[in-house]
Amino acid sequence: MLDVRLIRESPDEVRRALARRGAELVPAVDRILELDTERRALLQRVEALKAERNRQSEEVARRRKGGEIADDLLESLKALSEDIKQIDPQVRTVEELLEGELLSLPNLPLPVVPDGDASANVVERTWGEIPDFAFAPRSHWDLGERLGILDLPRGAKVTGTGFPVLTGAGARLSRALVNYMLDLHTTRHGYREVAPPFLVNAASARGTGQLPDLEQNMYVTEDGLYLVPTAEVPVTNLHRDELLRAEDLPVAWVAYTPCFRREAGAHGKETRGLIRVHQFDKVELVRLCTPESSAEEHQRILQHAEAVLQDLALPYRVVMLAAGDLGFASGCTYDLEVWAPGVGMWLEVSSASTFGGFQARRANIRYRPAAGGKPAFVHTLNASGLALPRTIIGLLENNQRADGSVQLPAPLVPYAGMERLVPPGA
């Protein structure tokens, strides 16, 4: 959530920043300013009335102590209390409207973020060698079927399209990836592992910015709990309404969860195989830090996500998203895209985002500076470390052999208990 003081003190700067995301967002600034002005006027009015009520109450007490009559003031006090009673609901109404406007406004893109929509995204760098096959590379769904590890028809039968089933060595590969990633991030990168709930309440979804903007993409239960779209939501909210110590920052969490996304509005996009699914496994990195270290922490969490792809020897590229392609809560995002030769596409396997104080203000996560200064909002960051479906796509399609087998990268072999995926009977 944006700081209303920033909008009040620098409205033109906020308008320009929002316009980079979309011109339709700019009018919200005027609505917020009007509501803020009305709220402050009402507060001034009610505070003046309360001050006068206090003054007159003291005068009544003084008169009574001296044996004087205070009937005139008692009538005035009654009128003052009635005025205050009428204004208080007006203040609450205006504050609710103001909060609603603020909650619906996305984060401001950082100056380093390029202008434009997704077509203006910038490839920062690439890593690894694109494989040169002596044969036509197969798609992961073809490989998965031949290897007997991917059963899309049964997933569709059990639940529906977009709910894949991994079987045999495929299920083992999935488990191996999760364990490998958790071990990597906890031992090499210093994260603390947490196993969070897979359901969150509305306050948690609001705290990280899923509500109200992304509610259409979330699954919700009858009692108002939301299935997590990413571990970012429960993990960040572990610290909701907390005051942290500066010496305890940065806080670094890593978590595995299944993720559930309706993908509303994704019709017409590539949805075959594992490219776009409604349920998938993911290892998530979350960091909380001071504002001064935010930029450095963004590069650090990006490098931690990249380390997985480098260990697995998967060719990838780092893409900085343009302002019009940023997620609702993000101020700057790098996508990591793995090359998938079987489908001839770069596929996102991680988004490393910095949110500044945007999420912390919504979730009320603060820290007290070491020097004993006034509490301030932390900065929050997260990155997928990594999402499994497209990582599996990259593994299958980049490491396939002419005989239909798939060679596993060396770091995965101890976790998977096998060096290759081979077709049944081979």
Please identify every residue annotated as catalytic: 261, 276, 348, 351, 390
Q: What whole-number distance in Å separates Cα of residue 274 and Cα of residue 13?
A: 42
Q: What whole-number distance in Å separates Cα of residue 385 and Cα of residue 193?
A: 13
Q: What whole-number distance in Å separates Cα of residue 103 and Cα of residue 207?
A: 10
Pairing of strands 279-289, 251-260: antiparallel
Give the tokens for residue 70: 């205070």
Side-chain-facing half-sphere of 144: CA atoms under 13 Å: 25
- CA distances to 42, 45, 69, 294 from 52, rounded to whole Å, are 15, 11, 19, 47
Burial of residue 302, with CB atoms counted within 10 A of its CB: 0-12 exposed, 13-18 middle, 19 or more buried = buried
Strand segments (E) across 321-400: 332-340, 345-354, 366-368, 376-377, 379-387
Q: What whole-number distance in Å separates Cα of residue 228 and Cα of residue 264?
A: 15
Give the tokens for residue 155: 């997933």
Q: What whole-number distance in Å separates Cα of residue 290 and Cα of residue 366?
A: 9
Question: Residue holding tokens 């940065």?
Answer: 250
By the 8 A CB rule, do 325 and 122 touch? no
Q: What whole-number distance in Å separates Cα of residue 335 and Cα of residue 352?
A: 6
Q: What whole-number distance in Å separates Cα of residue 418 and Cα of residue 415?
A: 8
